[in-house]
Structure 1
Amino acid sequence: MGMGMFFKLSLILAMYFMRTAFGFDGSWQYSHATFYGGADASGTMGGACGYGNLYTYGYGTNTVALSTALFNDGASCGQCYVITCDYNSVPQWCLPGRSVTVTATNFCPPNWAIPSDNGGWCNPPRTHFDMAQPAFEQIAITTAGIVPVQYQRVSCYKRGNIRFTLNGFPYFNNFLVWNVGGPGSISYMMVRGDKTNWMVMSRNWGAIWMLNSVDLSGQALSFYIWNSDWQFLYFPQVVYNNWVYGQTYEAYANFY
């Protein structure tokens, strides 16, 4: 077997095991859900993925904070899930036949002072969804507080293209990558200025990627992005050489 064929086979197997491990194999899983943020969802803005105002970034209120077991140190930011209340378990609290598709935009931290089965719902190794209240209200009655659910990770369908928001300062560059279709999350990212070679970026936190020790000012920027299915897209000079921090650029492509 040639090295090229061996590499392709290894990559296919790695993709299969990654999809299976993170529940992206089409199967339904069991978990529980609570809610936070209030009926107006004001308390859900911001969060551990770095999206800030969820209306501005197109995520709205169909959003969720993931427990440690699902959040994966921020690598799950942007992923989408269909969640339905387990009507057979608690018919008095579930809205029958209802489901909601939510996007992961936040982290539900563990609370080690409370037992995992009595309030510490997000403690490892539990999977748990702490949903924005408007999303929770689409599948269950809020009086319940917590309900058993079934969930399935699904592809994200986004309007428009991938976007990059640039922040930071010279020699410390942050790139928020958002409106990502397909699996919704990014696994690997590279950047190149028109005066540099390709450089590997690292995850700063959530959906924010960073590059230190390089001044990219005055350069047009290109990106290679691999999503969590290890599909990749090339974005040549999508950021113009007159860019300034705080601007957002649209890449005219997406994962579908």
Structure 2
Amino acid sequence: MQALGERSRQKMAMATPMNAFAVVAVISVVYLAASTAAASGGWDVADATFYGDMSGKATMGGDCGYGDLFSQGYGLANTAVSGVLFNNYETCGACYEVRCFNDERRCRQGSSIHVTVTSLCPPDPKLPGGGLCQPPRKHFDMSEAMYTKIATTPYAGSIPIQFRRVPCAKAGGIKFQIKGNPWWILVLVYNVGGSGDVASVSVRGSSSSGAWRPMEREWGQNWQITKTPELMGQALSFQVTTGDGKVVVSDNVAPAHWQFGQIFEGGQF
């Protein structure tokens, strides 16, 4: 994945031929002026840029830990978000509808896209004011393929947008990729429908008398548990809770002969 600092520098370079201080000032005025109007329609307001190229290769990986977004079903419809939206990994997997707002010259009026949060767009201390992703700014840094669906040109720079959370529509069930070793199990949870995010994960072995063991977020949507030799050789069930409090239990989704590196498909929201 492209270095995050370099990505921020490129965003500021793209934004406008004005100097960087003027860029921040102009965008801030647009952001503040739009906030009141956006709130009345149930949408929030932010701005958006892109990184990488039309292939989307630069957006693979990311801070949510998904890895190959194509093989996992997210594809090019992905975005990094600033820290105030990322919320310490809690919105990884969340889906948003995004549309251009209040700029007929740079935006395709009436067009909107759906994107999934797959990474963090961090502030850059080398840029004035920390750049476009400095808290409390709300910012989307998406793939070029998605950006050009709402911007009139790839050279439109940082464009004003409206955004709102929407349900995630997924084909098939929640996926569990099991990694680690007999003493430490790490599970990547992805392809989550409904609210898309994951608030907690628990695991249960088929010989564990019904006791759920809570897992800890290791990073992104990778969830870990230690002291696991007793889970080896057992079928595994997972309980996934999303940020809106909904729960799906996938009973015995991994059979007793499961191996590290395998991916299993469970229930869905």
Query: What TM-score results when the alignment is normalised by the length of structure 2?
Result: 0.81
Paired with 2:119 and 2:203, the residues of 1 have a C-alpha distance of: 26
Partner AA of 1:115 in structure 2: P
Paired with 2:92 and 2:51, the residues of 1 have a C-alpha distance of: 18
Paired with 1:165 and 1:78, the residues of 2 have a C-alpha distance of: 15
- Structure 1: gaps spanning 5 or more residues: 1-25
Paired with 2:98 and 2:241, the residues of 1 have a C-alpha distance of: 26
Deviation at 1:195, TM superposition (A): 3.2
Paired with 1:184 and 1:225, the residues of 2 have a C-alpha distance of: 11
Partner AA of 1:240 in structure 2: P
Q: Deviation digits for residues 180-221 of structure 1, max 9, x if unmatched?
A: 000001101111112333211111111111111222221110
What is the 5 A alignment of 1:160-199?
160-196=172-208, 197-199=211-213
Matched, 1:98 2:104: no
Deviation at 1:40, TM superposition (A): 1.1
Q: What is residue 24 of structure 2 aligned with on the other side? A: none
Bigger helix share: 2
Partner AA of 2:107 in structure 1: C
What is the 5 A alignment of 1:38-57?
38-57=53-72
Q: What is residue 132 of structure 1 aligned with on the other side? A: 143
Q: Deviation digits for residues 76-120 of structure 1, max 9, x if unmatched?
A: 11000000111x2x211111211000000111111122124xx71
Paired with 1:174 and 1:27, the residues of 2 have a C-alpha distance of: 38
What is the 5 A alignment of 1:236-255?
236-251=251-266, 253-255=267-269
Paired with 2:188 and 2:246, the residues of 1 have a C-alpha distance of: 19
Q: What is residue 128 of structure 2 aligned with on the other side? A: 115
Q: What is residue 200 of structure 1 aligned with on the other side? A: 214
Determine helix, strand or coil for the equivalent of 1:211: strand
How well do the aligned residues superpose, as a CA RMSD in angstroms?
A: 1.3
Q: Deviation digits for residues 26-79 of structure 1, max 9, x if unmatched?
A: 920010001012111111111111111111000010100011001111111100
Partner AA of 2:135 in structure 1: P
Paired with 1:93 and 1:213, the residues of 2 have a C-alpha distance of: 55
Q: Deviation digits for residues 142-188 of structure 1, max 9, x if unmatched?
A: 11121010001111011111110111111111111111000001101
Paired with 1:201 and 1:121, the residues of 2 have a C-alpha distance of: 34
Paired with 1:211 and 1:127, the residues of 2 have a C-alpha distance of: 33
Paired with 1:183 and 1:189, the residues of 2 have a C-alpha distance of: 15
Report the count of equivalent residues: 225
Paired with 1:201 and 1:79, the residues of 2 have a C-alpha distance of: 20
Matched, 1:233 2:245: no
Matched, 1:152 2:164: yes
- Structure 2: gaps spanning 5 or more residues: 1-40
Q: What is residue 29 of structure 1 aligned with on the other side? A: 44
Paired with 2:91 and 2:195, the residues of 1 have a C-alpha distance of: 9
Partner AA of 1:245 in structure 2: F
Determine helix, strand or coil for the equivalent of 1:83: strand
Matched, 1:79 2:94: yes
Q: What is residue 20 of structure 1 aligned with on the other side? A: none
Paired with 1:219 and 1:244, the residues of 2 have a C-alpha distance of: 11
